[in-house]
A and B are shown apart, each in its own frame.
Chain A
């Protein structure tokens, strides 16, 4: 399905704002800017603008558009009365309404449009996968990966610098991550290593896929030509005009059989070091229209780098060559085929891990099998949601879990569903794969929020609350001020819980702005200790105190997990909070899921013109209780995904 570019977003707006809007229209400079100056700019300007929001830098229409997420949060704060802070001067009702009216027209006038297509460098993971798909083997580091040790087995990931997350929050958004001479050297080194391997005796089978026949001694000129032709199709990720191919192949002419190999290696290396390989999108067909559908090869690439973090396979390339991908049923069938492929594991390994910050679990334990067990639980779970057509909101609560003997103690009687694990003689500790179980007793463990590794990676209720707020509800939090102190410990005659001490400590209204949102979420998880153990389970073992002067952890009877969200909902414990997240906060959670998925799929920060598409997909997912598969289809069919705008001067 294709989304039309003009969509009414009125429904979504009133859901965000939650009240009817009376006035209409309005002009930013006349109606909004003076009010910002009057009530906001005192704190929100200059280098240390509060909450990293600086209204003083917004002047042109483009600035206003780019700040669309800021306006959304301005409206939310005005609505909830959380801003300006209670000890500051408050805007009058008619002033508030002026802002609301401007915002409604601002949002209503947005059209769904694709972004200007900017080429981007392959991320390290994409580069590794692409090289593997071209050659048919992985460049591996020779190292013995004994149990309890960690080693980077991929030569590519070992040599290339780790990509910093881009503005989208994802590593595949490499727009701000330029090519450097260091990276250039590593590319050159890796390509040489791959070529050494391709022509080594161990890779006879892989070489045959290029040459069509076994090499006996030197390459024949026929083999060399076929090799280059196959290679070019794979490495360019599209069919080239025969004239281009012929030009490259012609360089093989008049070469002695001894020189052929060196020539082939040289040609391959130049292709793999060329911009068209290193960057995505330089070869896209540009038409005269400002806005256009991307060509079929580009569409195939977008799809494969989204679902696989890898180049299109032969099937996808040939469907692109035949223009068959334009056919909706063919396109949809390809998405399903790709989700069923083992390569779709990258959605969990890359997309989910980065979105949910699951790499943090690596700091939970130095014991490698234990750490791997904790980290693999949410990854296996997300992989299951993504590829087994599960509803989006299973993210919050589910009766499926993935456990191993290293994590089974958290699952009570449910752990008995696992087939028994017998350790082989002479192995001290080892990594054991997860098994899928159905939660019947340990229902508190359902969903991502209460998995042991996720609980343990966030240290304390504040980090846990901030994680839910940002990663699950999609709200943005500013950096905490640098001068916040530690919560003072109980003095000798005090017996306050951590929560009580913390609430005393943060009574300042400027703290409350964020902590009113963070804390209820975090304290709802206080039934789980710092290692992620459930205090209310029968076999709870309190952790050892790390330092003798450390305050004892709160006991079961002291703990208060109840709370109230700024939007008014109250809950007693995490089970009720999960219920709120899947009912009254359902829209916010869905919206965040859609936005994160879009950002990852598009490898870029979302823009104002993506908003109508997001609204539409959220609505669709909400109404149909959509699954992850539905979402991937919707994203892959969106305007932003299937179309592009060319640069203004092209």
Chain B
């Protein structure tokens, strides 16, 4: 359509990127008959600042027999609709920005190409008025700009984000094309202002007339556009939708946005949505939860440890989980065809990192939901080895019928999402023991974080036949030896500390070796 091309050219000429309320609608004229099957959608919800691993991880359990972790309790009722992936991520450490880039782009060096959501949007957009929505809650973080984006266009440039539910509502449902009523109203406005401008014009001098001509041209152009834009009868009467109220806090803002996502998908206004619950290093303050510290500060729960701080952090993480629950509940509430909106939507929920203080990228929270017939949900899939996110992305692209040989640095698809075979994680046996030579203690066993919230900085090494060896070290040792990375695996750890009966405490680490040779941080992530 010439009009739409013209307007885009104009924009480019001005050299600015504008959020355009009506631009996408220009394309709506090409809209054809209703498809017989409900369309497939893709939806991503991003959780900032990682997790406190002992609260998130599922300990033990198998594909069909597992217990959801404390942080998963808010969406426990959706157990049959979710597919919990574990051992995702493969970096010793990562910056916030890089871990965020990887979330949908496979690898942080993949900076010249589209993120996977955009590839999916291109494939499934059909004739929807809005190709995709990129949503967020928080302002841009210029100091590490990569913390603010997960969606990137085909050149690898960040997609502008939208945060305001009212603006999204107006854009989707209150534009002149949204309903015949809106169109008629716009048309009468144009008639009236034309009348006004003409009456002014009769008395105007040449300077005024030049201005009025400029004005009249624009109004006539708008009339022409309105006339040219044919529209199919909307399948839902959108004029009945209620505009979201002003949000008094983050919770209300997010709840309203989830409403908008539900409506946008249900009315088939768009089929691809990405939503960040905050920047990946979010500085937001959850005052409505009674918390006065910044989320990012609290997320460094080792460095800034106190029981109260940790509880605040968990409250925030639980809130994130509640929003995921709220989203799934909404999608399930909409009937579509023989099933629900959730059945026709593949949902990806997760974070960029695991351990939020050390920025360790192992066992990062990744959950898929919905996608009936595409995903086999109701399972817990823990892979035998740490997985690149790029493999997951290839698998999801395939789910939407996009075959790629490679994505970012990854070359093959992650198995198991649709119930296909995968190699599950298995504990490997090894001997565990403690040795003491003078003040030096050496222990071999499986290392884990204490799940006692009063001592969240403490690591425990399990040794058969005696109390676990306690590792109570300063941040420097925690970080330099990357204790968080080795959690759940066998290590041989040497250090100094104290002994009281059969209770050993290591306070200074001098050496750490992985029993199976795992080495963190070989890539600068």
* Interface residues, chain A, with chain B CB atoms under 8 Å away: 116-120, 141-151, 155, 158-159, 161-162, 178-186, 188-189, 192-193, 196-197, 200-202, 266, 269-270, 273-276, 278-279, 282, 286, 366-368, 424-428, 646-650
Contacts and interface: CB of A to CB of B under 8 A. Distances in A.
B200 interface: yes
A424 B304 CA distance: 14
Contacts of B188: 266
Interface in B486-521: none
A142 B165 contact: yes
Contacts of A181: 7, 10, 218, 221-222, 225
Interface string B262-288: 000000000000000011001111000
A42 to B, nearest CB: 36
Interface in B155-169: 163-167
B166 A193 contact: yes
Contacts of B18: 159, 161, 182, 186
B154 to A, nearest CB: 24
Contact of A186 (B21, B189, B225): B21
B140 A182 contact: no
Given A144-B250, A149-B140, A182-B11, A647 B293 contact: no
B189 A146 contact: no
A426 B293 contact: yes
Contacts of B296: 428
Given A196-B166, A650-B205, A179 B185 contact: no
B391 interface: no
Interface residues of B, number: 71
B15 to A, nearest CB: 9
Nearest to B283: A146
B137 interface: yes
9 contacts: A143-B136, A147-B283, A149-B141, A158-B19, A181-B221, A185-B21, A196-B166, A279-B215, A282-B204
- Name the 9 nearest CB pairs between A and B, nearest first: A426-B293, A650-B205, A149-B139, A151-B139, A647-B205, A146-B283, A143-B163, A142-B164, A366-B143
A425 B212 CA distance: 58
Contact of B207 (A188, A193, A197, A647): A647
A146 B282 contact: yes
B253 interface: yes
A177 to B, nearest CB: 10
A192 B204 CA distance: 29
Contacts of A183: 218
A227 B400 CA distance: 54
Interface in B7-37: 7, 10-11, 14, 16, 18-22
A269 B215 contact: no
Given A266-B185, A426-B292, A646-B205, A144 B211 contact: no
B7 A182 contact: yes
Given A141-B167, A146-B284, A426-B298, 19 more contacts: A118-B211, A141-B163, A143-B163, A145-B139, A146-B279, A149-B279, A149-B283, A178-B214, A180-B218, A185-B21, A189-B22, A193-B167, A273-B193, A367-B143, A426-B292, A428-B294, A647-B205, A647-B207, A649-B205
A145 B297 CA distance: 16
Given A148-B141, A189-B21, A273-B193, A162 B16 contact: yes
A146 B219 contact: no
A247 to B, nearest CB: 11
B144 to A, nearest CB: 8
Nearest to B190: A273
A142 B205 contact: no
B323 to A, nearest CB: 14
A275 B212 contact: yes
Contacts of A155: 164, 167
